[in-house]
């Protein structure tokens, strides 16, 4: 598995497996086991997904040594703040049956972000977390966090896919030594992405699927991707992308698909902030 090196020297797999929207514990556990068996070493979950226990069980079942895995989880809004963040991390570690996390992210730029970040910096220094970062932070929120804190986020997990390519933001992150990570790299099948003529023609040329082309495009850009699937054959398919490379011409064709518009609610909009804040989960 190819890796990227984060700003603190920690190595992170460039391709992982995400478990968003797999709430059924038995199904999530089996999917995560299938992913690890297929060769994935990065597993991405979150407190708000409510499947950390299933991921922890899968890690135990896999038999893969802990130091070969890269486990990410995220802090939800209702646990933001200094003391709440410390308690939330311990709860996540217990559910995951782990002594430490490889990456801990603030899930949304909402609530007492700075109190949470101070707690995360402390836990990072204590060795409970190997790297700390954020998710869904726009450029202004990201640079503000960098300027006013000691530890620069190692990762920002944001929306990136062929229809929202975020090249300028990727450049901005590189300049600030923050690794871009894509959630939803396959667009959850929206916009008929798997029937897209441009992507299909490239896939046919390489005898690959559209999903494989998208993920290879992502990893060649140096963007970490965490596709999700509940089908074993798709899980295996999605990791089978390192035996071909896209050309510059193919990159240019994919660039024509960029709408420069998000397909999802944005966390910098008042109505989205209110909706997220109202989501009180049983964590």
List the catalytic residues: 49
Count other Cβ atoms within 10 Å, centred on residue 91: 14
Judged by phi (left if over 0) then psi (alpha if -120 to 50, else beta), residue 184 lies in left
Provide the 3-class DSSP secondary structure of residue 70. strand
Provide the 3-class DSSP secondary structure of residue 149. coil
Count other Cβ atoms within 10 Å, centred on residue 53: 16
Run of H or E residues at 8:
none
**Residue 161 known to bind ligand:** no
How many Å apart are CA 179 and CA 171, to the nearest integer? 10
Alpha helices in 126-184 (DSSP H): 139-147, 167-175
Of the candidates 15, 47, 78, 85, the residue with the CA atom closest to the CA atom of residue 238: 15
How many Å apart are CA 50 and CA 48, to the nearest integer? 5
Q: Which residues are annotated as a binding site?
A: 107
Q: Which residues are annotated as a binding site for substrate?
A: 107
């Amino acid at each position: 598995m190819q890796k990227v090196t984060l700003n603190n020297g920690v190595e992170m797999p460039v391709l992982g497996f995400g478990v968003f929207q797999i709430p059924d514990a038995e199904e999530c556990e089996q999917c995560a086991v299938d992913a690890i068996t297929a060769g994935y070493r990065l597993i991405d979950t979150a407190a708000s997904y409510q499947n950390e226990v299933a991921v922890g069980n899968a890690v135990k079942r896999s038999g893969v040594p802990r130091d070969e895995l890269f486990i990410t989880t995220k802090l939800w809004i209702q646990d933001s703040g200094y003391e709440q963040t410390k308690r939330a991390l311990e709860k996540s570690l217990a559910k995951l049956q782990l002594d430490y996390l490889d990456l801990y992210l603030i899930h949304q730029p909402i609530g007492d972000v700075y109190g949470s970040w101070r707690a995360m910096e402390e836990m990072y220094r204590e060795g409970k977390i190997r790297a700390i970062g954020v998710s869904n932070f726009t450029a202004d929120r990201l640079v503000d966090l960098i300027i006013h804190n000691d530890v620069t986020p190692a990762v920002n997990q944001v929306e990136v896919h062929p229809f929202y390519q975020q090249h300028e933001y990727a450049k901005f992150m590189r300049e600030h030594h923050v690794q871009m990570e894509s959630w939803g790299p396959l667009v959850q099948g929206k916009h008929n992405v798997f029937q897209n003529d441009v992507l299909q023609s490239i896939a046919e040329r390489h005898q690959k699927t559209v999903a494989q082309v998208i993920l290879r495009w992502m990893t060649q850009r140096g963007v970490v991707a965490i596709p999700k699937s509940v089908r074993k054959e798709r899980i295996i398919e999605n990791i089978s992308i390192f035996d071909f490379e896209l050309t510059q011409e193919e990159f240019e064709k994919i660039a024509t698909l960029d709408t420069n518009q998000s397909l999802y609610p944005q966390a910098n909009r008042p109505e989205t902030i209110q909706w997220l804040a109202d989501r009180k989960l049983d964590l």
